Every structure is written in C-alpha cells, then in structure tokens.
Structure 1
Amino acid sequence: MIIGVPKEIKNNENRVALTPAGAIELTKRGHEVYVQATAGLGSGFPDADYEAAGAHILPTIEAVYAKAEMIVKVKEPIEPEYELIREGQLLFTYFHFASYEPLTNAMIKSKAVCLAYETVEMPDRSLPLLIPMSEVAGRMSIQEGAKFLEKPMGGRGVLLGGVPGVEPGRVLILGGGVVGTQAAKMAAGLGAQVTIMDISLNRLRHLSDIMPANVNTVYSNEFNIRRHMKEADLIVGAVLIPGAKAPHLITRDMLKEMKPGTVLVDVAVDQGGCIETCTPTTHEAPTFIIDDVVHYCVANMPGAVPYTSTIALTNATLPYAIQLADKGWKQACADNEPLKLGLNVVDGKVVYKGVADAFGLDYTPVDAML
C-alpha cells in the first residue's frame, strides 16, 4: 500500500503521525511511505531520518495526498485539506466528528473512508489509540493549570503545592478515566489537595485504592460539583463519551460562584467540551477570561510536547496501520472488531451512531459497508 504522512497544518501542531521507526516497520513489509518535507521536524525527526528508514520525501502536502492510498495523520483535516481528499482514500487520524459539523459534512462529501483513532474501542471499552494522548493531556492539564494560576497569567496567584505554613491549592477533577487519573497523579505529586469525581462507584473505589492520601473521591452530580467548585483553585474537565459530544458539567451560571482567578482546563474541548463556556483555543493564545475565571481550552494540548507525544502515538497506532496496509481497510476491519469501530464515515455515509445522532444525520450500520 502507498502510505502518505502530511505535515500537520493546524495552529501550533508540531506532532507527526509516524516516526522513522514506524516507517521502517511499514517499508520492510513492502509498503511505500511518502512523507511531506519537514513533517517530522517539529517532533525532532529530520527528513534524513525518514529517508534512512526507507521513506520518500515529497515537497508539498498536495503531492502527499495525491500519491497516497492511505493518509496517516494526527489531527483532523482542516479546511485547506478538504479538497485534497479523494473518493475511496483511507484517512487514519483523530477526527472528533461530533464536535464539528463542517468537518463531518466535508468528509461525507469527499466519499473517503474515515477511520477515527478516538473510536477504536476494545471489548473492555478502553480506547487504545486515545489513551496515550489522554495520558499526555491529563498530565499537561496540571502543568498548564499550575502555570495559569500564577498572577501574571491571570490566575489567583496560588502555588498548587503550598509551602510550610500555607495550605496547598485545591484541584477539582471531573471524570475518573485516563485523563482524570493522570491529572490526579500529577496534582497529588505537586502536593495539592485533589478531589476527583466520577459517576462510576467501581471507578471511584479503584481510584480510592491507588491514589495517595491527598486525593479524595466524590460521586459526581450537580450538587457535589457546585459545592466543591466554590473552593477549587483549578478545575479540570476530563469527561469523554466515545464518539459523541461531552456533556456540560460546568455551566455559565456556575462561574459567578467560583473564586476570581480560578483556572478551568477543559481537556474534552476537542469533543465539544464539558465546560459550557469553553471554546477551542490554540497554544498561540491558550486562554480567555469570563467572569474573572481563566479558561484554558487548547484543543491539541499534546502538540506542545511533540517529541513525547509523537512517539507515544506511533507506539499505539502503528500495529493498526500495519493491519490496514497489509490487508486493506475492509479486510482489516472485518478481522478486527475494535478497528471496525473506528470507522465513522465511509463512502459518503455516516457509520458511527454517535456522529449521526450529534447532527441528526442518517445512520448506516458499518457492517453494510464491509
């Protein structure tokens, strides 16, 4: 198969979808890999490394899309890429369709095969291609939140870990999944007082067992959220419903009950966000303030640490990319149920129910397309 790796063009997105190590694994199986010039530079991988791995370098994004049967990316295609995508071409990337209708409509129009990293789902409901970036984003949420709590950045001027004689900052984490767990570990490690909320009692029991003493677990409901947010210095939104829009757990009216300078980090923003007032921002301008509350809503948080993120992502996606290249997407998805769940849009039809429901579109069962 001919595999194309374009350079990401989303604002301040420095990741690349394939490392040179990944290129070796594909080329040694007889596949052709074409990488856009400088695509890996932001992650620390120069063109020469890809050429040494057996890949070919193409000068432009147009050339990569024109050549490839399968496009492997990090982030969803943005508007300048829409016209480059052709009928029957396989796109393997993060899409987060349910949060952005124009992208969904563009991919329906293209009649491409859109296989989304974020909805590849194992029998235990874990999301193997989302986990590594969720781990990065969860840890970063505390790193960024701590920075924006500083007074010059608009925050309350709170040091999360405190110092002897001064109590530490308080962190509220909404969601006890991968993002929430990693955020809690980081916040606890800094010495903050941490409260993590979830609607699964089994998950809360597990977290209670594994977390240090400065992490408390609380059942998530509106009453408890309103009670704890009033004392929080940093609130992390870490709620995900695979393939669908995240629910709004923090609403506009709640902001007035928070302390001025509170920082909100909505890690779910690329899936619609679980904080009503959050809209996507970029690393170039990551925050805005509403009602004296700082909102950090960067939709590609791991893009700020591209070396770590790119290696972690390739570790997870490469086995699936190899299956798609070796067998073709139809056979690979027929043989691998988790991979089949990654199919969202195929030949102009929406085959993932969460996406169809988000926009009131017709839904076609995925098996009908195989």
Structure 2
Amino acid sequence: MLIGVPAEIKTLESRIGMTPAAVREAVAHGHKVVVQRDGGLKIGLTNEEYEAAGAKIADTAEEIFATADMIVKVKEPQPQECKMLREGQLLFTYLHLAPDPVQAKGLMDAGCTAIAYETVTSPRGGLPLLAPMSEVAGRMSIQAGAHCLEMRQGGEGVLLGGVPGVPAADVVVLGGGVVGINAARMALGLGASVTVLDTSIPRLAELDAMFGPQLKTIYSSRDTVEEYVTKADLVIGAVLIPGAAAPKLVRKSHLAKMKNGSVVVDVAIDQGGCFETSHATTHIDPTFVVDGVVHYCVANMPGGVARTSTFALNNATMPFMLALADKGYKQALADDPYLREGLNVHKGKLTNEAVARDLGEEFISTTDALAA
C-alpha cells in the first residue's frame, strides 16, 4: 500500500501524521510511504530523516492526495484537502464531525472512507487514539488557564497556587475523564484548590482513591454546576460524548454570576464546546471575553506542543495504521470491532450514529456500509 503523509495546514498546526520511526515500521511491513517536503521540519523531523527511514519526499500535497491509497493526518481535512480526496481512498485522522457539517459534506461528496481517531475504542472501553491528545490537552489547559488569569491577559490577577497567607485559586474541572484527570493532576501540583464534577459515581470514587482528600469530587447536576462554576477562578471544560457534540453545561446566564476576570478553558471545543458562549479560536488569537469572563477555546491545543504531541499520537496510532495497511481497511475493520467503531464516513454515507444524529443526516451501520 502507498501511504501518504501531507503537511498539516490548519493554523499553527505543526504536528505530522507519521514520524520517521512510524515510516520505518511501515516500510518494514512492505509498504511505500510518501511524505510532503518539510512536513515535520518545524518539530525537528527533517526530510533526510524521513528518507533514511525509507520514505519518498513529495513537493506538494496534491501529489500525495493524487497517488496515495491511504492518507494519514493529524487534524481534520480542510476544505481544499476534502476536494483532493477521491472515491475509494482511505483517510485516517482526527475528524470531529459532529459540529462540522461542512467537513462532513466534503468527505461524503469525496466518496472516500474516513476513519476517525477519536471514535476508535478499546476492549477496556476507552478511546485509545484520543487519549494521548487528551492527556496533552488536559495538562495544557492548566498552563493556559494560569496564563489567562494574569492581568495582562485580561484575567483577575490570581496566582494559581497562591502564596503563604494568600489563598490559592479555585479550579473547577467539568468531567473526570482523561482530560479531567490530567487537568486535576496539574492544578493540584501547582497548589490550586481543585474540584472535579462528573455524573459517574464510579469515576468520582476512582478519582477520590487516586488523589485522596486533596481533590474534591462532586456529583454533577444543574445545581452543582452552577454553584461551583460561578465561584471558580478557572473552569476547565473536559466533557466528552464519543462522536457526539458536547453538551452545553455552562450557560451564558452563569457568566453574569462569575468573577470578573475569571477564566474558562473549553477543551471540548473540537466537539462544539461545553460552554454556551464558546467558539473555536486559534493559537494566534486564543482568547476572547464574554461578560468579563476570559474564554480560551483553541481547537487544536496539543498543536502548541507539537513535538511531544506528534510522538505521543504516533505511539497510539501506529498499530492501527499498520493493520489498515497490511490487511486493507475492509479486512482490518472486519477483524477488529474496536477499530470498526472509528469508521465515520464510507462511500458517501455517515456510519457513526452520534455524528449522523447531531448533523441530522441519514445513518447507515458499519456492517451494512461495508457489505454494500
């Protein structure tokens, strides 16, 4: 199989779909890999390293899309990339289709087969290809939030960990999944007062066992969300419904009750965001203010630490990439029901029920889609 790795073109996105190590593994399995020139250069991965690993270097993305059997990316294809995809081509990347009807239509019109990292599951019930970026984003959310609390950034001028004689900041984390756990760990490490809200009692029990009394755990309801969010200095939105749009847990009416200069970091923005007032931002212009509350809603947070993120992502995606290349997508999906959960688009049809529901489109099961 010919595997194509184009450079990412989303604003300030310097990650790349395959590292030289991943290329070497693919080549050892008998596949060919073509990488766009300088695609990994910003994170120190040179054309020479890719060539030494066995890749060919292409000057343009057009050449890669025109020839590759499988495209391996990081971020969702941008409109100009959707137009380059073709019928029968396999796309393996993050998609986050639920809040993005334009991209969904582009992929359906292309007739390609698109497998989304974020909906691949595991026997343990997790999301193994989303987890590494969730770990990065969870940890970054506290760094970003602490920075936004500074006066120069529009914040209220609170140091996250406080100092002797002055209280630490109150940090509230909405959601106790991978993002929430990593956000809580970072915030506690910096000395903040941290509360995690979640609707899962077992998850709250796990967090209590993991962190002990240092972390406050609260069952999430409309009342508790309003109570804790409106008192917080920093709120981390870390909720996730796999494939579906994020629920709007924090309403605009809550902002009027929050402290002037308090900060919200919406890590769920890729799925539409869990704050009613959120809209996606970029690393160039990451924040905006609504009712005195600073919003940080960067849609590709891990891209800010692109080298760490690229290697973490490749560690997770490599076995699945090799399975798709070795077996072809039909056999790979037939053999692995967890990888099959990643199929979102096939031959013009949406094959993820949550995505189809949120977009108001027709849904076809993966079994029926592949059989057809």
TM over 0.5: yes
What's the CA shift for 1:159?
0.3
Give distance in 2, aligned partners of 1:21 and 1:351.
32
Give distance in 2, aligned partners of 1:212 and 1:264.
25
Single out whichever of 238-247 and 122-131 deviates more from structure 2. Answer: 122-131
Give distance in 2, aligned partners of 1:296 and 1:177.
20
Give distance in 1, aligned partners of 2:67 and 2:230.
55
1:98 is aligned to 98
1:107 is aligned to 107
1:152 is aligned to 152
2:363 is aligned to 363
What residue ranges of structure 1 are gaps of 5+ in the alignment? none
Single out whichever of 222-231 and 130-139 deviates more from structure 2. Answer: 222-231
- State the secondary structure of the residue aligned to 1:249: coil
- State the secondary structure of the residue aligned to 1:3: strand
- State the secondary structure of the residue aligned to 1:97: coil
Per-residue Cα deviation, 1:197-232 (whole angstroms, up to 9, x for no partner): 000000000101111533100000111111112221
Per-residue Cα deviation, 1:176-211 (whole angstroms, up to 9, x for no partner): 000000000000000000000000000000101111
1:351 is aligned to 351
Please list, as runs of the form range in 1=range in 2, the aligned pairs for 1:257-276 lying within 5 A after superposition: 257-276=257-276
Query: Aligned residue pairs: how many?
Result: 370
User: Counterpart of 1:85 in structure 2: which amino acid?
Assistant: L
Per the normalisation by structure 1, the TM-score is 0.99
2:135 is aligned to 135
- State the secondary structure of the residue aligned to 2:256: helix
User: Counterpart of 1:164 in structure 2: which amino acid?
Assistant: P
User: Are the equivalent residues in 2 in contact too, given 1:192–1:214 (CA < 8 A)?
Assistant: no
What residue ranges of structure 2 are gaps of 5+ in the alignment? none
1:2 is aligned to 2
Give distance in 2, aligned partners of 1:266 and 1:214.
24
RMSD: 0.7
User: Are the equivalent residues in 1 in contact too, given 2:10–2:75 (CA < 8 A)?
Assistant: yes
Please list, as runs of the form range in 1=range in 2, the aligned pairs for 1:1-370 lying within 5 A after superposition: 1-370=1-370
Give distance in 1, aligned partners of 2:213 and 2:307.
33
Per-residue Cα deviation, 1:317-369 (whole angstroms, up to 9, x for no partner): 00000000000000000001110000001000111101110121111111012
Aligned-pair identity in percent equals: 53
Per the normalisation by structure 2, the TM-score is 0.98
Give distance in 2, aligned partners of 1:211 and 1:284.
35
- State the secondary structure of the residue aligned to 1:98: coil
Give distance in 1, aligned partners of 2:194 and 2:210.
14
Give distance in 2, aligned partners of 1:108 and 1:223.
41
- State the secondary structure of the residue aligned to 1:51: helix
Give distance in 2, aligned partners of 1:302 and 1:254.
28
User: Are the equivalent residues in 1 in contact too, given 2:99–2:359 (CA < 8 A)?
Assistant: no
